[in-house]
Amino acid sequence: MPRFRSVVFDADSTLAGIEGVDWLARARGGDVARDVAALTRRAMDGELPLEEVYALRLERIAPTGAELAALGEAYVEAAAPGAQASLAALRTAGVTLYIVSGGIRQALLPLARHLGVDEGRVHAVPLRLDEEGAYLGVAPSPLARSGGKATVLAGLGLARPALAVGDGITDLEMRPRVDVFVAFTGFVRRAPVVAGADHELADLPTLADWLLG
């Protein structure tokens, strides 16, 4: 029997080794790339509330539908080592898997399909685009603000015991809604997140072995 009935994963720098909004910003280059990366880092380290930076970053970038599709491909290419096999093992053992992310939903769905996570269990921030794929804005979502992940988890009715895995301060906010929180440090190690976590793990195969051991 697995140790947990539900496992909730962050996406950026957890299931894949990129930060999606930063990836889009780098495609713009120059001041946009530098400014967006700095804002992301400050939000993930807990220096700024997410709601102060989320829409601002995307307004600077204004990603198109084609760019979101390219980001989706980049997520799949940057999938964490062993992610596909690890999540498959958890599914086979009867664990219900979720992705709860402050990333962009349109871009994360290809990664979810690659990893075998049901689309209905992917919770992320949708962007509004016009018929030609031009950027219109961020659709309302609790995941675009601080505390949003805990809000989403509260409405999921997770089968217990439940575990959450992530790398950022917004992931740590899930801790009150699950039984155990794991700080994932395979791509980046954030000291405040590790300090607040129940465990620290650096790769997904080790996590899967522990969950199924």
What per-residue confidence (pLDDT) applies to 98? 98
Whether 12 is a known active-site residue: answer: yes
Q: Is residue 105 part of a domain?
A: yes
What per-residue confidence (pLDDT) applies to 182? Answer: 98
Residue 107: domain span: 6-212
Closest CA to 57 of 79, 76, 31: 31
- Which member of 12, 22, 167, 171 is catalytic? 12
> Has residue 70 been placed in a domain?
yes
Q: Could you write out the DSSP letters of every residue in 33-57?
A: HHHHHHHHHHHHTTSS-HHHHHHHH
Residues 6+ apart with CB under 8 A from 130: 136
Catalytic residue among 10, 22, 167, 171: 10
Q: Per residue in 103-158, pLDDT tens?
A: 999 999 999 999 999 999 999 999 999 999 999 999 999 999 889 999 999 999 99
Tell me the CATH number at 201. Answer: 3.40.50.1000
| 1, part of any domain | no
What pTM was computed for the model?
0.93
Does 71 fall in a domain?
yes
How many independent structural domains does the chain possess? 1
pLDDT score of 40: 77
Give the residue-averaged pLDDT of 12-34.
92
The answer to the question of residue 160 being in a domain is yes
